Amino acid sequence: MQLGLADRNVLVTGATGGIGQVVARVFAAEGARVAVTYRNDAEAAEKLAAELGAADDRALAVRYALDEPASVEAAVATVTERWGGVDVLVANAIRWGVRRSPDTRFEQVDPDVWQPVISDNLAPTIRTVQLVVPGMRERGWGRVVLVSSHIAVDGGKGQEFYGATKAGLHGFARSLAWDAGPDGVLVNVVAPGLTLTRRALTGLPEAVRERETKLTPTGRLSAPEDVANTIVYLCSDANGNVTGETVSVAGGR
């Protein structure tokens, strides 16, 4: 299968996380130029960019902070100035949600706590798409994948605010598909289930992982590679007509 990603310019936000790193590596393996973003860990991003070919101008690291609009604009501008535009956007940056404690009711959560989750998880992603889509239209080809969560579809106890932001991505993609599709720009959402990133492996008790595995039809939890391969397919020439869709990567959950 020809993916047609050689020499495409790819921007992966949130690239220092478990899924983001793997996504960047898979794109690079397909011959794409990859820009990886970070908020605080510049060292990790620079190390990843070096691994992906920064010395040969095949990769670069750029700062991108969801709560700093100027950094969003600057990140896209940097990639555009360096390589001439963004062909593929993988919006993976995230502000982790407010998970209520069992003894706190939904209505007791202060707006000062939950409003930043809403504003940072949704608005900057929409703005990033606004910045990259004009160039995609001009070139007659573009791919956008918004990384969501199974919580947007299934819900999660204590995850009302985070779930709302991720569900918002689904409605955004569904509508944008109508506007961008005629210009060759495909927009989709990938919704991972529990994925065995380093964060999950260190932060979740083994008993929880075993329970979730038993509840998964495939009998295993997703690896970051499962999510990355799905994203790369949706962003490739192999995907010619899938747009406005939400693809779950959760082993059948």
Give the residue from 97, 96, 98, 94 showing the smallest Cα distance to 109.
98
Give the residue from 168, 155, 126 showing the smallest Cα distance to 13.
126
pLDDT at res. 216: 86
Are 3 and 238 in contact by the 8 Å Cβ rule? The answer is: yes
pLDDT at res. 156: 85
Q: Per residue of the chain (253 residues), give pLDDT as tens.
A: 789 999 999 999 999 989 999 999 999 999 999 999 999 999 999 999 999 999 999 999 999 999 999 999 999 999 999 999 999 999 999 887 666 777 889 999 999 989 999 999 999 999 999 999 999 999 999 999 999 999 888 888 888 999 999 999 999 999 999 999 999 999 999 999 888 687 776 777 888 888 888 888 998 988 999 999 999 999 999 999 999 999 999 898 8
pLDDT at res. 159: 87
What domains can be seen in the chain, in order of their start residue? 9-249 (3.40.50.720)
Whole-angstrom Cα distance, residue 249 to residue 206?
21
Cα dist from 88 to 56, 91, 209, whole Å: 20, 10, 33
- By DSSP bridging, strand 9-12 and strand 59-63 are unpaired
Instruction: Tell me the β-bridge partners of 146.
Output: 91, 189
Give the residue from 18, 14, 31, 54 showing the smallest Cα distance to 237.
31
Structure tokens at 69: 């609009």
Sheet with 59-63, strands from edge to edge, namely: 59-63, 33-38, 9-12, 88-91, 142-147, 185-192, 246-249
Whole-angstrom Cα distance, residue 246 to residue 227?
13
Residues marked as catalytic: 162
Whole-angstrom Cα distance, residue 213 to residue 42?
34
Per the rule left: phi > 0, alpha: psi between -120 and 50, beta: everything else, 14 is: left
pLDDT at res. 20: 96
End-to-end CA distance of the chain: 28
